[in-house]
Amino acid sequence: MELYPYKSGEGQMEPVALQNHLVAIHYVKDTFYRRVNFYEAITPTQVINLGALAAGATSPRTNVTGIDTYDQEFGQFRWFCLDNAQIRVFIPRGAAKGDMKTIQAVLDPSIVFRNPSLSLTEFFVWQDNRPAIEAVNGGAVALAAVRMVAMGFRYHTDDLSSGPLTAQEISAYDTLKKDPAAAAKSPAEIMAIAIEQARVPCTHVWCSGMGAGR
């Protein structure tokens, strides 16, 4: 199994990391190096209903609290809108997803036909740093509801204070430990260096967007 974000595999969604795998969580300007110690599937579930939306109207930007994860956890989700609205996504609230120079890409119900795996909708959430959405009703008929259904995986993680685990990690750790500059560093710090230098495999997940000015 190859593990990377936005993977499309015959309409199926796969986890981006497995038990004991290393992940680098990127959130705004911070990076957290973690190890997965538990993960489970989240079945398709309605996570928000923005309520009624008049024809030609745009909803207020609203936080999607239904996909919050616990402390030290991150979520990998794909989603779609049940109702005939275009959805703008912000991860977190102030960072537009799909932000280009002159437009922001939107998500509408046709995604389930155009991209059946929903791979293009994939996003990640770190703890309770949830995304926000705006709904645009471009039609001539009012909508009674604007509902989003999400599915994916939640991952509980540990820090790297316990040091290396796999044979490859142990080899990289031992090599780095011989450097006099690393003598005073903690196991977690040495493991972070191994990840940053690509000495060990690690999946990078972006739990926030990146604006053009960043």
Tens digit of each residue's pLDDT (9 = 90 or more) over 177-193: 988 888 789 999 999 99
Would the pLDDT of 214 be above 60? no
Residue 12 lies in a domain: no
Residue 184 lies in a domain: no
The Cα–Cα gap between 110 and 193 comes to 44
Range of the domain at 101: 22-156
The predicted structure's pLDDT at residue 179: 87
Residues ≥6 apart with Cβ < 8 Å to 185: 193
Indicate the number of domains in the chain.
1
Residue 179 lies in a domain: no
Residue 2 lies in a domain: no
β-pairing verdict for 203-206 and 123-126: unpaired
62: tokens are 């609203």
Q: How big is the chain by its Cα radius of gyration, in Å?
A: 20
pLDDT per residue as tens digits for the range 42-93:
999 999 999 999 999 999 999 999 999 999 999 999 999 999 999 999 998 8
Would the pLDDT of 1 be above 60? no
Residue 72 lies in a domain: yes
Residue 77 lies in a domain: yes
Percentage of the residues of the chain whose pLDDT score is greater than 70: 96
